[in-house]
Structure 1
Amino acid sequence: MATLSYKHYADIYADAVADAARTLARQMDRLSDLNRLTGTQRNDVLHGTAQDDGILGLAGNDTLYGGAGSDFLLGGTGDDSLLGGAGTDFLFGATGNDRLWGQAGQDVLDGGTGNDTLWGGQGNDRLYGFFGNDRLLGEAGNDSLVAGYGNDLLEGGAGRDTLRGDFGDDTLSGGAGNDLLSGGWGADAFVYDGGADRIIDLETGLRADGTATGAPAEHVTIAVDGIDDYADLMAVARQVGGNVVFSFGAGDSLVLEGVPLSQLGASMFDFT
């Protein structure tokens, strides 16, 4: 595989954190211009308007509905449910095990700390899990999913998606469309089930000279009709420069970047 260091992943993750922080800061600056609703220390249900709303849940297990408009929803402490509705929304779970639905529009979802579940919905969304064992589901649109720290599950859904596991033992599934997958630091698993996907950092457990790296080989699940075992897979494999390319027909393919074909083995693949 291509040699990617801990520092490489740390730098990329730091950029993602900085981007999310800048977005959050911009939303906080907008609060004075928004129709503002604030919850209590209890379990609140707050509904936005057709305008641009700023809805703050504070403490408690809250449910926040943005409705129409470009809304800013902040769950606060507790296990919160945030639903953006129509419009370009920013949803921030903060602490707790939160559930965030972007719904329609090009939304930004940030789970914060806790074991969160994020659904992008329609539109080209950005999903950040950050801390905790999170589930990020892009659904429709060309989405960007960034897991952060924890053992996370990322599913791109339809569209041209970018999935980044960052730190932890993550599972990444691009879904339909032409997707880019990076597991990051940890023992990751990848799922291919159609489209023209690229995995940019598959760990084979071997260096270029064939000696062991000490890291476990990562796994790829292949869900393609007619590819039932490793022999079937090797029949559609070829080395193209420094990459392995599997060509499944009808425009479907999987590229393993920086991987010699000779370093692959049957134990690295599952078939469904």
Structure 2
Amino acid sequence: MRRGSLTILLVALVVTAPTVGWLTTGSEAASSQGQRLCRGVPAAMVGTVGRDRLVGTPGRDVIAALSGYDMVSGRGGNDLICGGEGADHLDGGPGDDELRGRGNGVTRGEPITHDGDWLTGGRGDDLLFGGGEQGKDFADCRTVPAAVTADLGLLRVSGPGIGADRVDGDVEVVIGSTYGDRLRGSARRDELWGAAGDDRIAGLSGRDRLYGDLHVGATRHGNDRLRGGAGRDIIDGSLGRDRLWGGAAGDNITGGLGSDRVGSGRGADYVLADVYCCVPREGGDDVIITGPGDDGVDSYWGDDVVRTGPGNDRVDDYGGRDTMRLGAGRDELTATFKSGADISGGPGRDDALVDAVRRGGLTWDLGSGQVTAPVKARLGGFEIVSATDYADRITGTSADEQFYVFAGNDRVRARGGDDYIATYNGSDFLNGGNGTDRGHAGTDADTCTKVERTGGCEHVR
């Protein structure tokens, strides 16, 4: 049995001949199946209607697995292997093999849930055929001892470890080797997994799923380059220092852990940096650039660079000495940052919710864009401001602005413009400055001055 093959439960053992091969049956003996054909050729080894494990000989074998979730290994020789109804794993082994699946079941387990066949050609020039539209079929290259090149548009999978294999259009998923692979999709809906190694993956058109590394918990990973294409894609760099590009249709892009570079392209995109399943607070320094459209960006730990294009974007900043430039449009920022951060709202009426940057109130001058406490940073270009749950000190500009302050004894000086100031808990001081201002005070004893229309202020000056 080849390394990398899967072990399943063995129920009974039938040895047909010492030099032929062997099978483990799931329910019905192979001898009772009668004459079975695989691509019109009589099968020398026939499975059952249950779950079987069939292993061929070092020479040429013709194997018909029939129905059930079967494991078939051809070993050596130029084999012809036919699956059946059920999610089968067909492994040709060395030689020029032809593998044909007909998957229509569900196999669950690490790292992928699938409902079709797994096809592994092995060494030699093989033919890999999926099972039509009944399930999602996989070409699995994880045990190949060198890098592979796969092109589902040209229906080719090749490499020094496997030869030049041909796949039909029913193979929708390719899993690369543990080396630096080149995986390319088609105009259909494809799924490309890089496994380990420094991979280059392109989805082309269609709603594709692209993954740089195979799954969380892997001990090896690579620095991958993933490019989505024209469809609405899911792009996941996983681990490593990856470069990710979306397309024009609006993509879901996850940088994963590591220092990544992300370009989302046109369309309404969602970008997530520095998070992968269950590993918190470990991130790299990412570069995220989005194009036109209403995008969503989640920037987690690390000192990230974010630049959004035109559109009404939503950016969540979860900590770091980040540099952010938001494009034209009505943008929304939720920020938790460290000293040294430099964030600009850009053209348009932008909204900033400053979360607890550190225990203590916020001192912020919107005119200069300077934050001086509890950290030192630059935060400018925002017209709608929501502060922290501590005692904040906020100074506005001559523009029309909105201020929302929460718990703590806050002080807001709006300066010019027709402003709106809302307070909640705490004994707050509101100064509207020039212009016609409106105020809404909270439940405690608040003081309002130069606020023309007030509600709830106990002290009006």
Give me the TM-score of the superposition, normalised by structure 2.
0.43
Aligned counterpart in structure 1 of residue 343 of structure 2, from 189, 193, 199: 199
Q: 1:245 aligns with which of 344, 366, 371?
A: 371
Q: State the 1:261 CA deviation.
A: 4.1
Which has the larger Rg? 2
Is residue 2:301 matched to residue 1:166? no
Greater CA deviation, 257-266 or 77-86?
257-266
Cα distance in 1 for partners of 2:265, 2:273 equals 15
Greater helix proportion: 1
Please tell me whether residue 256 in structure 1 is matched to residue 379 in structure 2.
yes
Q: 1:269 to 1:80 in 2, by over 3 A?
A: farther
Q: Is the 1:245–1:253 contact (alpha carbons within 8 Å) kept by the matching residues of 2?
A: yes
Amino acid at match of 2:305: T
Q: Could you tell me how far apart the structure 1 residues matched to 2:370 and 2:242 are? A: 35
- Three-state SS of the structure 2 residue aligned to 1:119 is strand
Q: Which residue, 64, 80, 86 being the options, matches 2:208? A: 80
Task: Please tell me whether the aligned partners of residues 73 and 91 of structure 1 are also in contact (alpha carbons under 8 angstroms).
Answer: yes
The one-letter code of the counterpart of 2:342 is R
Q: Which letter maps to 1:237?
A: W
Aligned letter for 1:222? V
- Could you state the TM-score of these two structures normalised by the residue count of structure 1? 0.71
Give SS of 1:142's match: coil
Q: Take 2:249 and 2:306, find their aligned partners in 1: how far apart are those partners?
A: 20
Look up the SS of the partner of 1:158 in the other structure: coil
Displacement over 6 Å in runs of 4+: 225-228
Supply the distance in 1 between the matched residues of 2:359 and 2:366 (Cα, whole angstroms): 18
Secondary structure, in 3 states, of the residue corresponding to 1:191?
strand
Q: 1:111 aligns with which of 243, 246, 255?
A: 246
Q: Does 1:38 align with 2:151?
A: yes
User: Which residue of structure 2 aligns with residue 11 of structure 1?
Assistant: none
The separation in 2 between residues aligned to 1:66 and 1:60, in whole angstroms, is: 19
**How far, CA to CA, are the matches of 2:321 and 2:398 in structure 1?**
25
State the match for 1:122 in structure 2. 257
Q: What do the CA deviations read for 1:86-142 (whole angstroms, capped 9, x no partner)?
A: 211110110111011111111110011211011111211001111110011111210
Confirm or deny: 8 A CA contact 1:165 1:172 kept in the other structure: no
**Secondary structure of 1:44's match?**
strand
1:53 aligns with 2:181: yes
CA separation in 2, counterparts of 1:267 and 1:239? 12
Deviation at 1:193, TM superposition (A): 2.0
Q: Which ranges in structure 1 are unaligned for 5 or more consecutive residues?
A: 1-32, 204-214
Deviations 1:48-97 (A, max 9, x none): 01121110111221111101111111111111111101211110110111
Contact 1:219-1:268 within 8 A present in 2 as well:
no
Q: How does 1:126-205 map to 2 (within 5 A)?
A: 126-139=261-274, 140-196=283-339, 197-203=341-347
Instruction: Compute the RMSD of aligned alpha carbons.
Output: 3.0
**Count of residue pairs the alignment pairs up:** 219
| 1:45 alignment partner, SS class | strand
Distance apart, 1:168 and its partner CA = 1.1
Query: Contact between 2:247 and 2:266, CA under 8 Å: does it hold in 1?
Result: yes
User: Would the alpha carbon gap of residues 149 and 202 (structure 1) be closer, same or farther in structure 2, given more than 3 Å must change?
Assistant: closer
Offset, 1:237: 2.5
Q: Where in structure 2 are there 5+ consecutive unaligned residues?
A: 1-145, 154-168, 214-220, 275-282, 383-394, 408-461
Cα offset, 1:254, TM superposition: 4.3
- Once the two structures are TM-superposed, the CA of residue 42 in structure 1 deviates from its matched residue by 4.8
The answer (yes or no) to whether the contact 1:221–1:271 under 8 Å persists in 2 is no
1:221-264: CA deviation from partner (whole Å, max 9, x where unpaired) = 12228999xxx65xx23589x4322523xxx4542247884347
CA deviation after TM superposition for structure 1 residue 146, in Å: 0.5
* Alpha-carbon distance change, 59 to 115 in structure 1, aligned in 2, over 3 angstroms: same
Query: For the residues of structure 1 that align with 2:171 and 2:402, how far apart are their CA atoms?
Result: 49
Structure 1 position 89 matched with structure 2 position 232: no
Alignment match, 1:27: none
User: Is residue 306–residue 325 contact of structure 2 (8 Å, CA) maintained in 1?
Assistant: yes
